[in-house]
Amino acid sequence: MPTSPDPLDLHAPEFVANPYPAFARARAEAPVRWHEGLGMWLAFTHAESNAVLRDRRLGRIWRDREPAERFDSFNLIHRNAILEMEPPDHTRLRRLITSAFARGHVERLRPWVEELAGRLADQLVERSAGSEPVDLLTDMAEQLPVAVIAELLGVPESDRPLLRPWSNAIVKMYEYDRPREREDAAERAAAEFVAFLRELAAQRRATPGEDLLSHLVSVRDSDGDRLTEDELVTTCILLLNAGHEATVNVSGNGTLALLRHPEQLQLLREDRSLLPGAIEELMRFDPPLQLFERTATADVEIGGVTVPEGQKIAALLGAANHDPAVFAAPDALDVTRSENPHISFGAGIHFCIGAPLARVELQATFGALLDRTSSIELGGEPERRPEFVIRGLRTLPVVLTR
């Protein structure tokens, strides 16, 4: 198997701007390759990425960041996270969280989400008035998912502005080659977030409501088991971090893709029934998370290579979603695509638990923009975030005409 030179230059501006040609070149050479810079194997095809996500010998094995005293809170919110657990702990925790979600929280919020998306879109259209550029990310895409998660959990209105800065600081730890100041900021944010949620959970124990946090506090399974306080806090942080990052970045990446493919945007204007499938296509075309890693708990053969016990292998979700063996014309955006087994929400036991909520938010966002505009155009050059793992934009200036 080819292992050198590295198939991806993660820091090259052209790669950050558009990694898919590099994925295609690497995929053509081998389905799985070693990346020296990351120190792990990378799966480039849909089949091999799916295998990485589903093979139970490849686990999410959390190891505390060192030195432990420097990352006390960051380690706490990952050590107790369902995303970093394997059975039986994962099975127990997912059962409890699913039980709380099963009380109809997503459908309860759907009308509220649609109403909020409409208000935000109205404000954008009024400010733009067909001539003034407005930033779709800061003025709509970033506001909606944070507000939704806050409403879901019952976070007081006055505290909601705290949530996104905490989340932004924490998720920057998932990138590689981080500067020390970014790591320090992530630990401070984690500590503040944990303290905030401990206090909020104590309030819900004393005075329960109909929000998800109250239900997470009270939920028990058939054996009488319940979430520990650390698991409760970690679950709330994971819902915010994973939930809003994905929705924000699909909103930005997806809108930009539609603006660069105006014929696809026009199809949505003419037939709104295409919207649910279009959301799946936008998730496939430019996914918000590009890499999801696993650790081998035994020697595992994937794509013709043996991943030794203890070594890491990552599914490259964007590469898998552009695999021509699975997707016809994979580099074309097609909102009418019917066969779309993308893996942007993951696969296997770690399939995204918040996927139904993300779909509600994205359909509401794009639906509100389409309903309230006759035209959406770029109002300047978008600015892309410099990170690779979490793929998104910093700014997306648009001009909206009612």
Which pLDDT tens digit goes with each residue over 182-224? 999 999 999 999 999 999 999 998 999 888 898 888 876 555 6
pLDDT band at 379, cuts 50/70/90?
Answer: very high
Would residue 3 count as lying in a domain?
Answer: no
Q: What are the C-alpha distances in Å from 265 to residues 74, 130, 157, 260, 376? A: 41, 17, 35, 9, 9
Q: What is the pLDDT of residue 6?
A: 64
pLDDT band at 4, cuts 50/70/90?
Answer: very low
Would residue 46 count as lying in a domain?
Answer: yes
Determine the average pLDDT of the residues in 35-61. 94
Which of 181, 188, 123, 136 is closest to 162 using CA atoms?
Answer: 188
Here the CATH number for the domain that contains residue 364 is 1.10.630.10
SS3 (DSSP) at 402:
coil
Would residue 91 count as lying in a domain?
Answer: yes
Which of 384, 400, 402, 395 is closest to 12 using CA atoms?
Answer: 384
Top mean-pLDDT range of 66-80, 93-107, 209-223? 66-80
| Proportion of the chain above pLDDT 70, given as a percent | 97
Which of 122, 55, 396 is closest to 259 using CA atoms?
Answer: 396
Which pLDDT tens digit goes with each residue over 113-152? 999 999 999 999 999 998 999 999 998 999 998 898 888 8
Which of 75, 390, 352 is closest to 230 using CA atoms?
Answer: 75
Q: What is the pLDDT of residue 5?
A: 55
Q: Does position 315 have pLDDT exceeding 50, yes or no?
A: yes
Would residue 311 count as lying in a domain?
Answer: yes
Q: Does position 3 have pLDDT exceeding 70, yes or no?
A: no
Which pLDDT tens digit goes with each residue over 253-306? 999 999 999 999 999 999 999 999 999 999 999 999 999 999 999 999 999 999
Would residue 1 count as lying in a domain?
Answer: no
Would residue 7 count as lying in a domain?
Answer: no
For the chain, report the end-to-end CA distance as a whole number of angstroms: 55
Task: Give dist(CA 59, CA 82) in Å, integer.
Answer: 12
Determine the average pLDDT of the residues in 151-160. 90
The pair of structure tokens assigned to 241 is 């971090």
Q: What is the pLDDT of residue 241?
A: 79
Full residue range of the structural domain in which residue 178 is found? 13-401
The pair of structure tokens assigned to 29 is 């050479």
Q: Does position 27 have pLDDT exceeding 50, yes or no?
A: yes
The count of domains in the chain is 1
Q: What is the pLDDT of residue 221?
A: 55
Which pLDDT tens digit goes with each residue over 338-360? 999 999 999 999 998 888 889 99
Determine the average pLDDT of the residues in 22-31. 94
**If you average pLDDT over every residue of the chain, what do you get?**
91
Determine the average pLDDT of the residues in 32-38. 92
Q: Residue 43: enclosing H or E segment and its boundaries?
A: strand 40-43
CA 80 to chain centroid: 19
Would residue 132 count as lying in a domain?
Answer: yes
Q: What is the pLDDT of residue 220?
A: 65
| Residue carrying structure tokens 């890693």 | 293
Across-strand partners of 376?
400
Which of 392, 287, 284 is closest to 329 using CA atoms?
Answer: 284
Would residue 53 count as lying in a domain?
Answer: yes
pTM for the structure as a whole:
0.89
Determine the average pLDDT of the residues in 33-59. 95
